[in-house]
Amino acid sequence: MAKAPVLTPQAEDFPRWYQDLINKAELADNGPVRGTMVIRPYGYSLWERMQQEMDARIKEAGASNAYFPLFIPQSYLTKEAEHVEGFAPELAVVTHGGGKELEEPVVVRPTSETIINEYFSKWVQSYRDLPLLINQWANVVRWEMRPRVFLRTTEFLWQEGHTAHATYEEARDYAAHIHREVYADFMVNVLAMDVVLGRKTARERFAGAVNTLTLEGMMGDGKALQMGTSHELGTNFSKAFNTSYLSKDGKQELAWQTSWGCSTRMVGGLIMAHGDDNGLRVPPRLAPVQVVVLAIKGEEPVLAKVREIGDRLRAAGIRVQVDDRTDTPFGRRAVDWELKGVPVRIEVGPRDLESGTAMLARRIPGGKEPVAIDALAGLLPKILDDDQALLLRQSRERREARTADVSTIEQAAEAAVAGGWARIPWATLGVEGEALLADQAVSVRCLVAEDGSVPTADDAPGTLAIVARAY
């Protein structure tokens, strides 16, 4: 009798495969309240690495980390009409505290534009106070009707940046800088995801923004996932909160603002973009553990050798873990590390000691080969770089192969329903066509220029719409 697969095959049931992998790779569990999640240590280690890489880029962009309260007075949200209308269905509102009804209900943070503007209006007095560049790592709550772990949860973790500038041009350029130099750089060069950079349509724009820039990734089943967004807020929130400054000319001017964010949704994107029927495949630059060194047997010389190899690789700058838990069968441990997507396994047993070699197993391209133990520290950096490049190349090839250029709304819908993306001229699709697609659960993920750049306006000549089904 054939052995049952550890995971439901992707081709058989992609959503079930996704849930199986989260469980078997010990990434997360469902929380006690519907729509919440418990992120397990290995899943959280992936998020921590994402945080580290993103935080460094955010600080290079000049922003400083701060923290704002979880509870926001309900009256703050009502100050910007489009914003409150956009978030109203998702709000969690607290009406009682300390055994008493509150004088004013408070909203559990869905996003922080309103409360941060309350303080920006105090902190910004003069042009000398600008630009003001703030980032926050926090949790937010948006009441989710159709939850899915990492992708759509009632509570999730994220970073949210908020800035104030003296001019429209400065705000526009900063939002674009975050879009390209922070988010795209991280997603392409660390997550190994060939994301498409584009502009959201008015229908898909963030509530309260005048322009939303997005990064869309294609998942293994051909659907799109919005990986991050950067918004130009214009002066909408500045007007509502009187975030103004005294200019060099002695005039009172409204500040121009941006906000931008990425969340634990990226962990879901990592799973669905790179995972296969054997589990995760974690890009080496992201991987909390790049190499695991496994002892096949519990004999002391073997244990001593795997620990020695671990020390050598650490000294070479590789993130390594030694697995000497020989009271657990080797086969089970190897499968567990494969499920977790660790890029390289080094397997050492008694026979390997005799030959001076170890078995090197590569998770991303697959395959095993014996390698001289003394050569490992020199070989592994190139292997990890090659595997990083392979994941990015596979991501790009999948997107290109499953994206069709179409000329009619019907063709765009067919391509999306068949499990791919479509490119159609925005002049052909338009607002009415976008609404027709929405009736079929197909959306315009973003607008791009013919040369792949981000158009300056929705109706810019040559603008193409990227159409897909999405998570």
pLDDT tens, the chain, 471 aa long: 556 789 999 999 999 999 999 999 999 999 999 999 999 999 999 999 999 999 999 999 999 999 999 999 999 988 876 766 777 888 999 999 999 999 999 999 999 999 999 999 999 999 999 999 999 999 999 998 899 999 999 999 999 999 999 999 999 999 999 999 999 999 999 999 999 999 999 999 998 899 999 999 999 999 999 999 999 999 999 999 999 999 999 999 999 999 999 999 999 999 999 999 999 999 999 999 999 999 999 999 999 999 999 999 999 999 999 999 999 999 999 999 999 999 999 999 999 999 999 999 999 999 999 999 999 999 999 999 999 999 999 999 999 999 999 999 999 999 999 999 999 999 999 999 999 999 999 999 999 999 999 999 988 999 999 999 999
> CA 17, CA 13: separation in Å to the nearest integer?
6
The pLDDT, as a whole number, for residue 84 is 67
Return the structure tokens found at 465.
Answer: 């719409």
In one letter, which amino acid is 262? C
CB 177 within 8 A of CB 268: no
Most distant CA atoms of the chain, gap in Å: 84
Residue 408 CB neighbour total at 10 angstroms: 13
For 185-213, give one letter per residue: b (16+ CB within 10 A) or e: ebbbebbbbbbbbbbbbeebbbbbbbbbb
- Please give the mean pLDDT across all residues of the chain: 96
Structure tokens at 363: 């998770």
- Residues 6 or more apart whose CB falls under 8 angstroms from that of 250 comprise none
Which sign, positive or negative, has the C-alpha torsion 458, 463, 467, 470?
Answer: negative
User: 403-405 and 368-372 as β-strands: parallel, antiparallel, unpaired?
Assistant: unpaired
User: Do 95 and 105 contact (CB within 8 A), yes or no?
Assistant: yes
